[in-house]
């Protein structure tokens, strides 16, 4: 029966494999994108029209999850498995260029200009496309993508509340402060926006003449007088109750949607969440205090030509097709995009579109997000500085300067390249020593005897050694060797142990200063201990209860209790984060019912840490419970009968029978659990996100930040990984001594 089942699965597998191959007779151009919903629908509609115009061409489209998009492109394109054309935002162009993943789109723009010009005089690129979109994609006198759509911030106004407020003019942000007197209704605020996020703060900063990053030389600019004044302005808005404190993006759309605020600053992505609530959208106002407009950052999405394309000509043709005026109109009408092709807006319906026109106006006055590769690096320190400054206005200057220091750490000059000769010598001599020792031992007759005796065992383990060696160990060894290299955006050079030296000396700052290796290690150890104690104790207690036959309904209890393990953690972690939200979360709502003041969960280390531990306990106890249940099932019942005959109490039975017999099955699970918790990335990243000020960050999330948000400094991240590995080896050795010291003669006992 079981063999039959396995055959079925194999047959199914074969069946699905054989279907995956593509038709070879036509020419196929491959397009990757991460669009969803209406934008995806519009894109697919356009691809069908493109296929109609080119009868022998098929477009193979792949919609990739956004979270895996960049890493997939980065892995696939250099190995010639990538797409011919892909859609992405202009901020990532500089990184793609540095890695050689894209070629310029000059030819596509030429095609588009020729097409748009028709019989008349030849149009210039800025006649065809919005200027801001060309700014965004231009670098080194080339254009690196065909501009598709603009994304920026605008002001959303709740129509019903607006009428109730007497339809006031909204050309100055400060005019909203007239509605703080409660006339909008109970609990309704004038404005909601994600104030502690640098992207949403940028329009205010720009109105004060400041900037996050100097676009020319990539210098961090969120310090100094203008930055301080912009933050003080927001602090004043919060003091005057114009806008509430501690809102995140999700809470903003939640409150606005629920009719709890007159206005919201957000982007086109919020449109899909509004349901049928009547909304008026206007371009961002200006600030009365400075008289300057709030200029939003503009992100431009474009079609990028991939390096190593198999069908480069078709890719160019498809890109040119997507930016044509009629195609842009489809994207605007169906996909609700603010399209970058000027001629598309001549369509009368689009010219009067009450949603898209305000966004277009906002984009025209907006600033293209700087393409300097430092830009993505600037957001993390700027966000941290902003959060800290808004939480503690007295420490404004300190917070901003701390941000600048963090940025400086991220962009510090790379360590000088060194000669890999020493590494080669070291590896060579290690290999020689190993060979020498093997030969020495092979001569030893006792050793040869024991090897011969081990042959039966080798027959059992050989295949495991081969597969694990190939697919688990070798990628890890490659990863470990990367730690001897340094570089950004994929350009690596050998630097010896420089990465380790920088990490272990905390880059010159105090050894226990926040964010240093040792401080983070301390938090990580605390995190692991707290979780382990809770996981094991809750898991074992529940398993003991659930293994009793007298407990009715235990079958149902057992299934319900594994629910936290069964539901994917990337969803439930977000659910927990939502529950901890200060303004809208369920936990503060519960506290409110028992008369406790709302808690700002992520504002202090202890509460943020508690939130993380609570989430991970919830995620982790079912696993320990299941393992314990399995282990309990293996304990022979007659032992308990014998113990009872001998007069042992229930307590003695637990310590003398259950615990020792649970140990062999439970210890590996506990050891593994400790290691996994030590490296638990998802919970920290999704729930507290390192808040406050990176204080709840653990080693592995630091490593990930270096690899993925700080210009892909893989070498540095790999050095973190090797250090994590070293710490774990030491810790498990110490644990081994503690837990197994006296009780080790296990294995010989039967």
Partner 1 sequence: MTPLQRPPPLPWRMAAHAAVIAAVGFALYPVLWVVSLALDGAQRPSGRALPWPVAPSLDHFRAVLFAHSREGTWLFARQLTNSIVVSAMTALTAIAIATPAAYALARFPKFVGAQSGTKALLATQMFPGVASAIPLYILLDKLHLLDTQLGLILVYATTAVPFAIFQLRGAFESIPKDLEEAAMVDGATRLQAFVRVVLPAARPALAVTALFAFMSAWNEFILAATFLSHESAFTLPVALQRHVGEYDAAWGRFAAGSIIVSLPVMALFYALQKNLVGGLTSGGVKG
Residues 221-260 that bind partner 1 (CB under 8 A): 249-251, 253-255, 257-258, 260
**Phi first, then psi: what are they for 261, rounded to 5°?**
-150, 150
DSSP 680-732: --HHIIIIITT-STTTT--HHHHHHIIIIISTT-HHHHHHHHHHHHHHHHHHH
Should residue 717 be labelled a site residue for partner 1 when binding is judged by CB under 8 A? yes
Stretch that binds partner 1, among 286-294, 323-331, 516-524, 723-731 (CB under 8 A): 723-731
Are 611 and 576 in contact, with CB atoms under 8 Å apart? yes
Beta pairing, strands 338-339 & 297-306: unpaired
Q: Does 3 bind partner 1 (CB under 8 A)?
A: no
Would strands 493-494 and 138-139 be described as parallel, antiparallel, or unpaired?
Answer: unpaired
Regarding 597 and contact with partner 1 (CB under 8 A), the answer is no
How many residues bind to partner 1 according to rule CB under 8 A? 165
H, E, C per residue of 293-317: ECCCEEEEEEEEEECCCCCHHHHHH
Alpha carbon 321 to its chain's center: 33
If the CB atoms of residues 182 and 668 are measured against partner 1, the closer one turns out to be: 668
Region 15-34 residues binding partner 1, contact defined as CB under 8 A: 16-17, 19-20, 34
Closest CA relative to residue 483, chosen from 513, 459, 503, 469: 503
Least separation in angstroms between residue 385's CB and partner 1 is 22
- As measured in angstroms, the least distance from the Cβ of 281 to partner 1 is 16
| Strand blocks (E) in 93-183 | 102-103, 138-139, 142-143, 146-151, 154-158
672 binds partner 1 (CB under 8 A): yes
Distances (CA, A) of 305 to 82, 172, 225: 11, 42, 42
Nearest distance from residue 711's CB to partner 1, in Å?
A: 14
- Residue nearer to partner 1 on the CB measure, 287 or 721: 721
Return the SS3 of 89. strand
Residue 688 touching partner 1 (CB under 8 A)? no
Quick check: 511 binds partner 1 (CB under 8 A)?
A: no
CA distances from 32 to 59, 96, 231, 682 (A): 10, 15, 40, 26
Cβ 234 vs Cβ 390: under 8 Å: yes
Q: Which of residues 389-448 bind partner 1 (CB under 8 A)?
A: 447
Residue of 81, 429, 505, 537 interacting with partner 1 (CB under 8 A): 81
Q: Is 551 among the residues that bind partner 1 (CB under 8 A)? A: yes
* Length in residues, the chain: 750
Chain positions 469 to 508 lying near partner 1, rule: CB under 8 A, are 470-476, 478-480, 482
Binding flag, residue 72, partner 1 (CB under 8 A): yes
Q: Segment near partner 1 (CB under 8 A), from 233-241, 362-370, 512-520, 569-577?
A: 569-577
**Per CB under 8 A, which of residues 649..668 are in contact with partner 1?**
650, 653, 661, 664-668
Tell the residue number behind the tokens 């290299």, with chain if given.
Answer: 485
| CB closer to partner 1, 473 vs 512 | 473
Residues numbered 151-170 forming contacts with partner 1, rule: CB under 8 A: 151
Position 633 contacts partner 1 (CB under 8 A): yes
Please identify which residue in 23, 140, 456, 606 interacts with partner 1, judged by CB under 8 A.
456
Q: What are the distances in angstroms from CA 166 to CA 163, 179, 192, 273, 283?
A: 5, 11, 19, 26, 20
* Contact call for residue 49 and partner 1 (CB under 8 A): no
What's the burial of 721, exposed, middle or buried (CB within 10 Å: 0-12/13-18/19+)? buried
Q: Which one of the spans 40-48, 113-121, 175-183, 348-356 is the region binding partner 1 (CB under 8 A)?
A: 40-48
Binding segment for partner 1 among 108-116, 125-133, 208-216, 627-635 (CB under 8 A)? Answer: 627-635
**Which residue among 29, 87, 132, 703 contacts partner 1 (CB under 8 A)?**
703
**Does residue 599 touch partner 1 according to CB under 8 A?**
no
- Residue among 713, 631, 728 nearest 672 (CA): 728
Question: Rounded to the nearest whole angstrom, what is the least distance from the CB of residue 647 to partner 1 in the complex?
Answer: 12
Give the residue, chosen from 26, 168, 178, 269, that forms a contact with partner 1 under the rule CB under 8 A.
Answer: 269
């Amino acid at each position: 029966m079981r063999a039959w089942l396995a055959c079925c699965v194999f047959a199914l597998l074969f069946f699905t494999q054989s279907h995956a191959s593509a038709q070879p007779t036509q020419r196929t151009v491959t397009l990757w994108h991460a669009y969803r919903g209406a934008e995806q629908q519009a894109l697919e509609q356009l691809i069908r029209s493109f296929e109609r115009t080119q009868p022998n061409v098929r477009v193979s489209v792949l919609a990739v999850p956004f979270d895996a998009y960049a890493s997939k492109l980065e892995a696939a394109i250099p190995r010639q498995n990538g797409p011919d054309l892909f859609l992405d935002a202009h901020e990532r162009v500089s990184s793609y260029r540095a890695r050689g993943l894209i070629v310029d789109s000059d030819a596509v723009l030429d095609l588009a200009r020729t097409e748009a010009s028709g019989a008349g005089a030849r149009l210039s690129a800025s006649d065809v496309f919005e200027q801001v979109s060309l700014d965004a994609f231009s670098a080194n006198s080339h254009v690196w993508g065909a501009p598709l759509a603009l994304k920026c911030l605008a002001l959303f106004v709740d129509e019903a509340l607006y009428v109730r407020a007497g339809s006031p003019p909204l050309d100055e942000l400060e005019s909203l402060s007239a509605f703080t007197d409660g006339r909008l209704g109970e609990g309704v605020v004038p404005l909601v926006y994600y104030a502690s996020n640098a992207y949403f703060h940028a329009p205010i900063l720009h109105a004060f003449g400041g900037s996050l990053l100097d676009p020319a030389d990539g210098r961090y600019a969120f310090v100094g007088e203008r930055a301080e004044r912009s933050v003080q302005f927001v602090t004043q808005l919060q003091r005057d109750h114009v806008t509430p404190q501690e809102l995140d993006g999700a809470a903003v759309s939640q409150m606005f949607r629920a009719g709890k605020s007159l206005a919201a600053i957000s982007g086109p992505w919020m449109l899909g969440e509004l349901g049928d609530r009547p909304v008026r959208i206007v371009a961002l106002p200006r600030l009365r205090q400075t008289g300057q407009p709030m200029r939003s950052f503009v992100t431009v999405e474009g079609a990028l030509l991939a390096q190593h394309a198999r069908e480069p000509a078709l890719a160019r043709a498809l890109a040119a097709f997507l930016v044509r005026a009629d195609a842009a109109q489809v994207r605007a009408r169906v996909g609700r995009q603010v399209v970058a092709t000027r001629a598309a807006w001549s369509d009368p319906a689009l010219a009067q579109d009450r949603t898209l026109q305000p966004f277009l106006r906002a984009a025209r006055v907006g600033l293209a997000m700087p393409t300097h590769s430092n830009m993505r690096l600037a957001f993390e320190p700027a966000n941290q500085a902003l959060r800290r400054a808004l939480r503690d206005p007295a420490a404004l200057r300190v917070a901003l300067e701390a941000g600048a220091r963090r940025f400086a750490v991220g962009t510090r000059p790379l360590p000088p390249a060194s000669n890999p000769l020493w590494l080669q010598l070291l590896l060579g001599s290690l290999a020689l020593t190993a060979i020498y020792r093997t030969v020495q031992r092979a001569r030893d007759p006792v050793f040869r005897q024991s090897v011969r005796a081990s042959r039966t065992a080798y027959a059992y383990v050989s295949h495991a050694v081969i597969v694990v060696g190939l697919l688990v160990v070798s990628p890890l060894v490659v990863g470990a060797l990367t730690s001897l290299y340094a570089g950004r955006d994929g350009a690596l050079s050998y630097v010896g142990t420089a990465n380790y030296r920088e990490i272990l000396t905390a880059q010159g700052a105090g050894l226990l200063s926040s964010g240093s290796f040792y401080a983070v290690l301390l938090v990580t150890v605390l995190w692991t201990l707290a979780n382990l104690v809770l996981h094991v104790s809750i898991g074992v207690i529940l398993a003991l209860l659930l293994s009793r036959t007298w407990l009715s309904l235990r079958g149902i209890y057992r299934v319900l209790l594994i629910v936290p393990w069964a539901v994917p953690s990337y969803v439930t972690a977000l659910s927990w984060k939502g529950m901890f939200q200060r303004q809208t979360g369920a936990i503060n709502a519960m506290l409110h019912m028992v008369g406790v003041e709302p808690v700002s969960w992520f504002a202090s280390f202890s509460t943020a840490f508690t939130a993380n531990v609570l989430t991970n306990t919830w995620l982790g106890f079912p696993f320990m419970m299941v393992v314990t249940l399995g282990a309990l099932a293996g304990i022979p019942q007659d032992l308990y009968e014998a113990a009872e005959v001998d007069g042992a109490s229930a307590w003695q039975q637990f310590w003398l029978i259950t615990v020792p017999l649970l140990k062999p099955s439970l210890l590996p699970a506990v050891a593994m659990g400790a290691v996994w918790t030590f490296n638990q990335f998802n919970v920290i990243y999704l729930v507290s996100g390192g808040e406050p000020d990176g204080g709840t960050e653990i080693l592995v999330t630091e490593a990930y930040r270096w690899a993925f948000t700080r210009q892909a400094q893989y070498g540095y991240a790999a050095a973190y990984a090797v250090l994590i590995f070293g710490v774990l080896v030491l810790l498990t050795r110490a644990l081994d001594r503690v837990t197994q010291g006296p009780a080790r003669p296990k294995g010989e006992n039967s």
